[in-house]
Amino acid sequence: MRDIVFWLSGAALAFLVTAGAFLFLANLATAPSEKRLNPDQARGESGQAVDLILDRELLASLRSRRDQSLDLVVENEGTKQLSDVNVTLRVFSENTALSDSRYYRQTVEKIPASGAARVRFEFDLPAREDPVARPPTANPELSREILEIRATMPDGNSAVRTVILPL
Amino acid sequence: MVAAVFVAGCAHADKEVSIAPLVPAAGRVDPGLGPATRAFSSGPGYKGSPSWSPGGDRIAFTVDDYVVDRPTDSEDLRRSTTRDFIAEDTEWISEDTLMILGAASPSGTQETPSSLYRARADEDSLEPEKVEKEVSAIGPGRGGLIFAFGRGTLESGLALTRGSGDVRRLYSKSIKGRVASLSLSPDGDEAVLAVRPPGDLETSVLHVFDLRKGEGREITRLDGNQEILGTPQWMGKYLYFVAGEKNMRVDRDGSEPPYEIYRVPEEGGAPEPAPGVGEDFVAASIRVSPDGERLAVIGRLNPNSPTNLYVLDPLAKDLTAVTMNEDMEIKTGPDDLAWSPGGESVAVIARGTPSTEPEVRAAPADRLLRDFYNLYEIPVAGPEDAPR
């Protein structure tokens, strides 16, 4: 009887170790879709911090047409609940001669400590045309679109991400 | 347009991936162009045509065709034109006067002929004053500016301005064809002109115009489909220029590079390849140094190598690489490089290779460097510092 228990325990332990090793390896090999880009996360005097998390696959699916949507996560990395976090999206062209930036804003009322809030922006991403006939010295390339996302805490600290969309 | 906000509680993302924070644009940066490189601009916008003020305290350049300038030691950017201005070139003629070749407020789809404008640093106006219409080329002159303008459809004229920008001398003798670019001789008494002859599609003739006598002469004429690219440069007893066959594909099969640096004696003759430049070198643009002894060159060692900044010393037959960049695209427009007045550095425009995937950066757009064409100051060793 003791031998059976011994062998069953050994087999279970070996299974757990092997499964753990496979899980570890799988975690190493899988690139997460949502990436936290945190070098400049906002951290107020109270130690509260906010971060922005974007999904690269969603960004890659954006197209130059109307009714595009962008989901993002605002994460509270502090130990206290955050209130009234302003999240803004600015959509503009790489061509600075075009002055038609569009702004979108939302306010997240509460984000629990170590929690996150998911925010969705719906916006237009129109294809742009050069406004004038260009001489040969001017930019021969079409301009890219830029999304600038900023999460601002009530104390003024903010986290920002700039997304440059390819043509 | 806002659709919904909902709190997701403890929704944590997976693994953290950090992007290194960017160095502020005012400081020394290493965007792939060398550790001593300094950025003069940041953020979006297609920059071009840098021009240093005579004292080197300010630098002007175009952004998406409008004109800005800034001190070289601060980021206080100043705009000189409205954003719909289309500038081709800028030249300082004094510490407070910037001359602009371009067209204001184009309308419709017709190309507006360029004019010469004057912008004064002590004025806040975004509408520079028009000095002359139908101007085709400008260049710094002795105590002012030299510019070429159209005389009818087949001829061009030359004129000089004072340091204030007012026309000082108008030359009566015409040049057959359209002057595409020009620059002065080292003593400032003559000008070398790249000219497109009447009826031709290519800029294929090199002229020299004596500013004392008011007379010009043809120096050389390129054969076939060859064209002169950019502004010819006068160095010593030779005229240097970039030329090649128009519309030739860079990556075509064959051993001859598309554009080469040539030189021709100032008294005229057949062009020859500039000494010190390898046979495979692909040239894009050149500028003579303020001391008249070196040539800044943007080009590639061969058609498959990256674009870099080089300095050519024709007397020593030496081409020195100033940058050894592998992953930046240095802009190759004919006016996209400029020596500082003291000859210690060269301003170029470059960006990182654009991605085909969305790029996410942890900084505001106006602080980004590599993602957009930006203006950089690259220190250049003097002739006495160069390795022999």
pLDDT tens-digit profile of A65-91? 889 999 999 999 888 999 999 999 999
Q: What pLDDT, on a 0 to 100 scale, did the predictor assign at position B59?
A: 96
Chain B CB contacts of A54 under 8 Å are 360
Query: For residue B4, what is the nearest residue in chain A, using CA coordinates?
Result: A120
Region B356-367 average pLDDT: 94
- Token couple for B129: 């004053």
pLDDT confidence band for B257 (50 / 70 / 90): low
Establish if A113 touches chain B: CB-CB under 8 angstroms. no
Q: What pLDDT, on a 0 to 100 scale, did the predictor assign at position A72?
A: 96
The residue that leads in pLDDT, A10 or B154, is B154
- Token couple for B336: 């996209």
Region A9-21 average pLDDT: 68
The residue that leads in pLDDT, A164 or A139, is A164
Query: For residue A113, what is the nearest residue in chain B, using CA coordinates?
Result: B10
Is the CB of A36 less than 8 angstroms away from the CB of B17?
yes
pLDDT confidence band for B207 (50 / 70 / 90): very high
C-alpha neighbours within 13 Å on the C-beta side of residue B19: 17
Region B267-287 average pLDDT: 94
Is the CB of B13 less than 8 angstroms away from the CB of A121?
no
Is the CB of A34 less than 8 angstroms away from the CB of B13?
yes
Residue in B11, B19, B46 closest to A118 by CB: B11
Region B365-374 average pLDDT: 95
Tell me which residue of A69, A148, A32 sits closest to B5, measured CA to CA. A69
Is the CB of B21 less than 8 angstroms away from the CB of A62?
no
**Residue-range domains of chain B with CATH:** 80-334 (2.130.10.10)
Q: pLDDT digits over A46-63, tens only?
A: 556 899 999 999 999 998
Establish if A116 touches chain B: CB-CB under 8 angstroms. yes
Residue B24 has pLDDT above 70, yes or no: no
pLDDT confidence band for B239 (50 / 70 / 90): very high
pLDDT confidence band for B104 (50 / 70 / 90): confident
Chain A CB contacts of B126 under 8 Å are none
pLDDT confidence band for A125 (50 / 70 / 90): confident
Number of CB atoms found within 10 A of residue A80's CB:
13
Helices and strands, number each (H, E), in chain B: 0, 32
Query: For residue B47, what is the nearest residue in chain A, using CA coordinates?
Result: A139
pLDDT confidence band for A30 (50 / 70 / 90): very low
> Would you list the DSSP string of B242-305?
EEEETT--TT-SSSS-SEEEEEEETT----EEPTT--TT-EEEEEEE-TTSS-EEEEEESSTTS
Residue in B44, B109, B355 closest to A133 by CB: B109
C-alpha neighbours within 13 Å on the C-beta side of residue B313: 16
Question: What 3-state DSSP class applies to B190?
Answer: strand
**Closest CA of chain B from A39, distance in Å:** 6
User: In this predicted complex, what is the ipTM?
Assistant: 0.81
**Closest CA of chain B from A32, distance in Å:** 6
**Closest CA of chain A from B269, distance in Å:** 31
**Closest CA of chain A from B139, distance in Å:** 16
Q: How many CB pairs under 8 A join A and B?
A: 184
Query: For residue A149, what is the nearest residue in chain B, using CA coordinates?
Result: B364
Region B238-260 average pLDDT: 73
Is the CB of B359 less than 8 angstroms away from the CB of A123?
no
Q: Which of residues 131-150 of A touch B (CB under 8 A)?
A: 131-135, 137-139, 141, 144, 146, 148, 150
Tell me which residue of B342, B378, B372 sits closest to B48, measured CA to CA. B372
Establish if A20 touches chain B: CB-CB under 8 angstroms. no
Q: Are strands B78-79 and B345-352 parallel, antiparallel or unpaired?
A: unpaired
- The span from the CA of A56 to the CA of A69, in Å, is 13
Share the mean pLDDT of chain A.
79
Residue in A34, A118, A163 closest to B14 by CB: A34
The residue that leads in pLDDT, B211 or B162, is B211
Q: What pLDDT, on a 0 to 100 scale, did the predictor assign at position B28?
A: 60
Contact B35, B29 (CB under 8 A): no
Is the CB of B363 less than 8 angstroms away from the CB of A40?
yes
